[in-house]
Amino acid sequence: MMLKAFKQFINDNELCSINEKIILAVSGGIDSVVMTHLFHKAGYDFALAHCNFQLRAEESEEDMHFVESLSKKIKVPFYKIKFDTKKFALKNGISIQMAARELRFNWFKELLVTTDFDYIALAHHKNDVAETLLINLIRGTGISGLHGILPKTDGFIRPLLFAKREEIEEYAVLNNISFRIDSSNNEDKYIRNKLRINILPQLSQINPAIVDTFYKTAENIYNTEQIFNQKCEEVKNRVLTENNGRFSINKKLLQEQKYHATYLYHILKDFNFNSSQVAGMSNALVKHSGAIFHSDTHILINDRDCFIIQPVEKTDILEYQIDKNTPCIITPIFSLKFELLNLADINDYKTTDNFSAFLDASKLQYPLTLKKWRKGDSFVPLGMNHKMKVSDFLINNKVNLLDKEKILTLCNGNHIIWLVGMRIDNRYKINDKTKSVLKITFKNNI
Tell me the Ramachandran region of residue 46: left when phi exceeds 0, alpha when psi lies from -120 to 50, beta otherwise. beta
Q: How far is CA 331 from the centre of its chain?
A: 26
Supply the mean pLDDT for the chain.
Answer: 89
DSSP at 425: B
Beta bridge partners of 79: 49
The whole-number pLDDT of residue 312 equals: 76
Pairwise CA distance, residues 437 & 416, whole Å: 17
DSSP per position, 294-347: E-SSEEEEE-SSEEEEEEPPSS----EEE-TT--EEE-SSEEEEEEEEEGGG-S
| 440, amino acid identity | I
pLDDT tens readout for residues 317-329: 568 888 888 888 8
In the chain the domains, ranked by start, together with CATH numbers, are 2-207 (3.40.50.620), 244-311 (no CATH), 320-444 (3.50.40.10)
Cβ atoms of residues 172 and 30 within 8 Å: yes
Residue 203 scores a pLDDT above 90: yes
pLDDT tens readout for residues 2-57: 999 999 999 999 999 999 999 999 999 999 999 999 999 999 999 999 999 998 88
Please, which pLDDT band fits residue 111 given cuts at 50, 70 and 90? very high
Give CA angle at 324 (322, 327), nearest 5°.
70
Please, which pLDDT band fits residue 126 given cuts at 50, 70 and 90? very high
Mean per-residue pLDDT, 95-103: 91
Contacts of 375 (CB under 8 A, 6+ apart): 391
Pairwise CA distance, residues 250 & 238, whole Å: 9
Pairwise CA distance, residues 148 & 219, whole Å: 8
Pairwise CA distance, residues 341 & 438, whole Å: 6
Please, which pLDDT band fits residue 361 given cuts at 50, 70 and 90? very high
Torsion 99-100-106-110 (CA) sign: positive
Mean per-residue pLDDT, 221-248: 92
Q: How far is CA 66 from the centre of its chain?
A: 38
pTM of the model: 0.66
Mean per-residue pLDDT, 195-220: 93
Give CA angle at 358 (432, 325), nearest 5°.
110
Which residue did the predictor score with more confidence, 297 or 368? 368
Mean per-residue pLDDT, 235-258: 92
Torsion 399-404-408-409 (CA) sign: positive
Which among 423, 337, 331 has a CA at the least distance from the CA of 377?
A: 423
DSSP per position, 80-115: EEE--HHHHHHHHT--HHHHHHHHHHHHHHHHHHHS
| H or E element, residue 359 | strand 356-360
Residue 285 scores a pLDDT above 60: yes
Cβ atoms of residues 353 and 424 within 8 Å: no
